[in-house]
Amino acid sequence: MEMLLKESGLASKLLSDFKDMYEYENRLKTFAKWPFVENCKCTPENVSLKMAKAGFVHCPSENEPDVAKCFFCLIELEGWEPNDDPWEEHTKRHSCGFLSLTKHFDDLTMEEYYMLEMTRLRTLVYKTGQSIIRAFEEEVTATRQRLVENFVSKHQYTLPPPVPLHADPSDQCSESSYCQSKKLQEK
């Protein structure tokens, strides 16, 4: 539950923080401290021509100073090379509704903007959900491991064969000695 609340809070903040990033100038401002300064298509001088126009905002961290994230599809790219073209890097890794706009943002009708914003919201909800699912699965795996270690070490318990998370346990029982012994115990 704590993970759900944390991820929901982060998603809400991201949705709010990025709502103004439809504006090119707002994306451009995020690149004020871009780490590349020479011999690169992604230099601060070229940011206006490349990074911000490709929908990216600069989201640096202590360990990754060149992280750029698309405000719309939320793809994060890092490790920029001197000859990387931000638009090409973005399009070859992800289909993005912002990049596929056929007219300038200021020329969108209210209905087109609404549909675009709904797509952005759907993407955010999907990515947040996937993150929560991954975190939950990691916690399940860690908990299972702790339980196994506890039972094996304290009770000399012999483990049955593992059952995949998404499999039907009854399918696994046809030849298993564990299941055969369970059947005998039930009789």
Instruction: Say yes or no to pLDDT of 182 above 60.
Output: no
Which tens digits make up the pLDDT trace of 60-82?
888 888 888 998 888 888 888 77
Any idea which of 16-30, 42-56, 100-114 has the lowest mean pLDDT? 42-56
Total residues found in the chain within this entry? 187
Domains contained in the chain, CATH given: 2-133 (1.10.1170.10)
CB atoms within 10 A of CB 69: 20
Cα separation of the two ends of the chain: 40
Look at the alpha carbons of 54, 127, 9, 97 in this order and tell me if their dihedral is positive or negative: positive
The predicted model gives 50-64 an average pLDDT of: 87
Statement: the pTM of the whole predicted model exceeds 0.85: no
Distance CA 104, CA 72 (A): 15
Check residues 176 and 63 and name the one with the higher pLDDT: 63
45 falls in which pLDDT band (50, 70, 90)? low
Q: Decide: 51 and 86 in contact? Cβ < 8 Å.
A: yes
pLDDT of 54 strictly over 80: yes
pLDDT of residue 141: 92
Check pLDDT > 60 for residue 175.
no
Give the count of beta carbons closer than 10 Å to the beta carbon of residue 70.
25
Phi, psi (5° rounding) for residue 58? -85, 120
Confidence band of 127 (pLDDT split at 50, 70, 90): confident
